[in-house]
Chain A
């Protein structure tokens, strides 16, 4: 066996001998690794999912509020609209010559925690995500009847829904807190392919459907004594009075600023039009401080973990002087003695990274649904990416460097002590 092999096996045996402190140190490193991986994952996936959710839409129009807020509630289903906009405003703007298409959006109801979105059939033709990808149907087709619904991939998978199944929409947001529209069930006519965007977690119905289920409601409650059944509803005029927002595609993107100005100066009611890309930039700016703070905290936690390891290794220096002297006695060089500490630092951190990775995946698996539900953030669980390996690599590099501190002390002591421990 070579000397280096001996040093590695001796280091591991030595760690095993101090397994309690070693295990605690490994645990400390693991927690810090889990944290930094988690923070980086959230940071990266949040950005990725935001950037990927919308493409090919030139403008988003809603009631006047903040541009980030409009972007968040209309596209990402985060937060709520402060106000609706009138159907007439939508019709006027959608009818402009320079507008190629317009997709109305009506939000406010939910189904078992998933948001329900009323829209037009044009949504399935014009909406684009990622690199200008169209929505595709895994099964079935777009809605046709008033009480048809198209489910996002996640909704269908999580709730185990199949085509032709009947579902009931809850009034308002929040899981089953409120009353339901159980008198007017919807039939699943289509299930979309997975997109990795909030579309996956959306229940799509027609605007008519949204009007229909609220026809005998007023101010958030059922009108007493008024119950209009589904078939009767079908015969009524279901044109909505208002919608939440709408997305606009233009013939020429060059005209975007003119349309934008026209909408923002619209006389009928206060409207806000935004360019999704510009609003995203604004969102990044808002997030960058928090992002930097999060990152700094996670880096500090890793440093804390490594300091814990350093403390452990330095503490062991004294109690291992005899061990070091014995090794010198059988011919080990001072470099060998020093190397033991680097090997120990790398072993502890290696184990910490492995366990931290495990914690990270366990944490992801258990928190992912919660994060998706509350923040609408889609975080796919995947094998470690290059970024994550890079982070682990940097932690390992920092550990090896940290190990050099006790190593150099052990080296100098070993050189001075030789084969005998002088007190």
Chain B
């Protein structure tokens, strides 16, 4: 699913190297725990995988496409179509309801719109289904604005959004760091359950090693990033 080869990145031509990864492979359907303390280049890697940042050299193959060969417009479209992203916090657009936040992912991708609609009768039904899968089933939560939700609830809405329209790759950037210990495990389990259904690949970035045992593979960013 992911193949990084000889990737080097710096913010400006004079700036120091932030990322220097010789090789990183993630197989289709694999659930990878990518461990790295803050400052280890996690955010940069996330931006490169998402096609928002381009490395100065190297190849970034995601789902068989070399992102470095695409124009920025095509990379944005690729991200919309094939990648679901969950951030650490502030995942939701505050003035939209949770339901609309989930549907947002279908607005910029015809592919995910079509896939979501084919799974349920329409994207709204599919968004509702995913929200219920994430144990957010009270009607009240569905329509009130997102900022009224607890952080745990917000993260589960974000998970539903990353999953709608079955993107092949889910990237979660410290999605549980703002959650209590018990809620973390539940969150990860819910995420795993839904991913198991779609067969998506999961890259879970975190600095909390205690979660690592639940994943297929554990990669330490400090091991593969030669800058550190």
- Could you tell me the distance between the alpha carbons of A165 and B43 in the complex, rounded to whole angstroms? 90
Chain B hits for A420, CB < 8 A = 43, 46-47, 87, 173
Q: Are B52 and A331 in contact (CB under 8 A)?
A: no
Q: Are A326 and B92 in contact (CB under 8 A)?
A: yes
- Choose among A16, A322, A330, A418 the residue that contacts B104 (Cβ–Cβ < 8 A): A330
Q: Are B93 and A326 in contact (CB under 8 A)?
A: yes
Q: Are A329 and B87 in contact (CB under 8 A)?
A: yes
Known: A326-B92, A418-B52. A1 touches B107 (CB 8 A): yes
- Could you tell me the distance between the alpha carbons of A17 and B104 in the complex, rounded to whole angstroms? 17
- CB of A209 to closest CB in B, whole Å: 72
Chain A hits for B94, CB < 8 A = 17, 323
Q: Are A330 and B52 in contact (CB under 8 A)?
A: no
Q: Are A418 and B73 in contact (CB under 8 A)?
A: no
Known: A13-B95, A13-B96, A418-B53. A331 touches B76 (CB 8 A): yes
Q: Are A333 and B76 in contact (CB under 8 A)?
A: yes
- 1/0 per residue, CB under 8 A from A, across B70-103: the answer is 0011001101110001010011111110000000
- Contact of A332 with B by CB under 8 A: yes
- 1/0 per residue, CB under 8 A from B, across A404-421: the answer is 000000000000001110
- 1/0 per residue, CB under 8 A from B, across A1-45: the answer is 101001000100110110000000000000000000000000000
Q: Which A-chain residue is minimally distant from B73 (CB atoms)? A: A333
- Report the count of interface residues on A (CB-CB < 8 A): 25
- 1/0 per residue, CB under 8 A from A, across B34-58: the answer is 0000000001001100101100000
- Contact of A328 with B by CB under 8 A: yes
- Choose among A3, A323, A327, A418 the residue that contacts B50 (Cβ–Cβ < 8 A): A418
- Could you tell me the distance between the alpha carbons of A418 and B54 in the complex, rounded to whole angstroms? 11
- 1/0 per residue, CB under 8 A from B, across A313-346: the answer is 0000000001101111111111010000000000
- Report the count of interface residues on B (CB-CB < 8 A): 30
Chain A hits for B81, CB < 8 A = 331
Chain B hits for A325, CB < 8 A = 87
- Contact of B8 with A by CB under 8 A: no
Q: Are B108 and A332 in contact (CB under 8 A)?
A: yes
Q: Are B95 and A329 in contact (CB under 8 A)?
A: no
- Could you tell me the distance between the alpha carbons of A14 and B93 in the complex, rounded to whole angstroms? 9
Chain A hits for B72, CB < 8 A = 333-334
Q: Are A3 and B43 in contact (CB under 8 A)?
A: no
Q: Which A-chain residue is minimally distant from B104 (CB atoms)? A: A330
- Could you tell me the distance between the alpha carbons of A52 and B151 in the complex, rounded to whole angstroms? 71
Chain A hits for B109, CB < 8 A = 331
- CB of A47 to closest CB in B, whole Å: 49
- Could you tell me the distance between the alpha carbons of A336 and B107 in the complex, rounded to whole angstroms? 12
Q: Are B93 and A323 in contact (CB under 8 A)?
A: yes
- CB of B5 to closest CB in A, whole Å: 22
- Could you tell me the distance between the alpha carbons of A327 and B50 in the complex, rounded to whole angstroms? 13
- Contact of B156 with A by CB under 8 A: no
- CB of B123 to closest CB in A, whole Å: 9
Q: Are A329 and B76 in contact (CB under 8 A)?
A: no
Q: Are A16 and B77 in contact (CB under 8 A)?
A: no
Which one of B80, B81, B108 has the greatest number of beta carbons of chain A within 10 Å? B108
Q: Are A330 and B107 in contact (CB under 8 A)?
A: yes
- Could you tell me the distance between the alpha carbons of A326 and B113 in the complex, rounded to whole angstroms? 18
Known: A330-B161, A418-B50, A420-B87. A3 touches B96 (CB 8 A): no
- 1/0 per residue, CB under 8 A from A, across B104-128: the answer is 1101110001000000000000000
- 1/0 per residue, CB under 8 A from B, across A368-380: the answer is 0000000000000
- Could you tell me the distance between the alpha carbons of A10 and B108 in the complex, rounded to whole angstroms? 12
- Could you tell me the distance between the alpha carbons of A331 and B79 in the complex, rounded to whole angstroms? 5
Chain B hits for A326, CB < 8 A = 87, 90-93, 104
- Choose among A6, A333, A334, A418 the residue that contacts B47 (Cβ–Cβ < 8 A): A418
Chain B hits for A422, CB < 8 A = 43
- CB of B104 to closest CB in A, whole Å: 5
Chain A hits for B91, CB < 8 A = 326
- CB of A320 to closest CB in B, whole Å: 10
**Listed A/B pairs (27) with beta-carbon separation below 8 Å:** A1-B107, A3-B107, A6-B104, A6-B107, A6-B108, A14-B95, A16-B95, A17-B95, A323-B93, A323-B94, A325-B87, A326-B92, A326-B104, A328-B52, A330-B80, A330-B85, A330-B104, A330-B107, A332-B76, A333-B76, A336-B108, A418-B47, A419-B47, A420-B46, A420-B47, A420-B87, A422-B43
Q: A327-B93, A332-B108 are in contact. List 5 more A-B contacts (CB 8 A).
A: A6-B107, A13-B96, A329-B79, A330-B107, A419-B85
Q: Which 5 A-B pairs have the closest CB atoms?
A: A331-B80, A17-B95, A418-B52, A331-B108, A6-B107
Q: Which B residues form the contact surface with A (CB < 8 A)?
A: 43, 46-47, 50, 52-53, 72-73, 76-77, 79-81, 85, 87, 90-96, 104-105, 107-109, 113, 161, 173
